[in-house]
Amino acid sequence: MEAGTQIVDQFQNAIQRANSDVSDLDTSLKNFGPIAREETILQRQKRETEVFISKVNDLDNMLDDLESRYDSMKADSYVTPSGGLKAQLDQLRNQQEKLRDKSEERLQEVQTIYGTLEGVTDNLRRMRTCINRASDELEMQEPIGTDVNAIKRLQDELKMLPGDAAADDNSHMLLQFVPGDAADDDDIHPAAAVGAWRWCC
């Protein structure tokens, strides 16, 4: 009988240690900060959550061992179902499952936000590349300046755009400031140059 009492006492001590471990994990989960919106922090939170889930899963072996020991004590009539030890074991299992569910849910949320943020970052990177290319191409364009031939070429290009009437009206704006037949000369009147420059810009 004394041996049975010692076995039960050892089992109760093991239950207390298991309760302490579960309580520590529960506190750790509650101390996790809110999910970030920055890639570096999200990567760290992902690793932390994965480590936490590993610790929760490690409880399986401990709880399996406790349940096996309980069954042995029950078979030897050292304990009875009404003694409360089985209820404590069941409670530990329930707490473990709650910790597992919450931590896996957090990991899923971290991964989802990280994937979304990564996609946005990639889109911004591609957009920045397109803008830089467009800027480079714009810088390569020759200025119209006061060259009447360049302005006439622009007139022809405008006429090729959809909406012939509108393009034709706009193209004539380039030369509307030229007095008389100056449009046929090599030099454009200063007023025409200013008007053309303002229209293009």
Per-residue pLDDT of the chain (201 residues; tens, 9 = 90+): 567 789 999 999 999 999 999 999 999 999 999 999 998 999 999 999 999 999 999 999 999 999 999 999 999 888 887 778 999 999 999 999 999 999 999 999 999 999 999 888 888 888 888 888 888 777 776 665 666 777 777 777 767 765 544 444 444 444 444 444 444 444 444 444 444 444 444
Residue 177 backbone dihedrals phi, psi, to 5 degrees: -90, -5
Note whether 8 and 77 are within 8 A (CB). Answer: no
Nearby residues of 188 by Cβ (< 8 Å), 6 or more positions away: 146, 147, 148, 151, 178, 182, 196
Integer Cα distance of 192 and 181 in angstroms: 12
- Domain 2-140 in CATH 1.20.58.60: yes
CA atoms within 13 A on the CB side of 143: 8
Note whether 106 and 91 are within 8 A (CB). Answer: no
User: Can you give the pLDDT at residue 128?
Assistant: 86
Q: Under the phi-then-psi rule, with left for phi > 0, alpha for psi from -120 to 50, and beta for the rest, what region is 162?
A: beta
Residue 200: which H helix or E strand, with range? helix 190-200
For the chain, where do the domains classified as CATH 1.20.58.60 start and end? Answer: 2-140
User: Can you give the pLDDT at residue 121?
Assistant: 83
Note whether 76 and 5 are within 8 A (CB). Answer: no
Note whether 63 and 18 are within 8 A (CB). Answer: yes
At residue 114, the 3 state secondary structure works out as helix
Residue 52 class from Cβ within 10 Å (0-12 exposed, 13-18 middle, 19+ buried)? buried
Rounded to 10 deg, the angle between the 148-159 and 164-173 helix axes is 170
Q: What is the pTM of this model?
A: 0.62
CA 99 from centre of chain: 24
Closest Cα to residue 106, out of 193, 45, 160? 45
Integer Cα distance of 74 and 56 in angstroms: 27
User: Can you give the pLDDT at residue 54?
Assistant: 96
CA 168 from centre of chain: 49
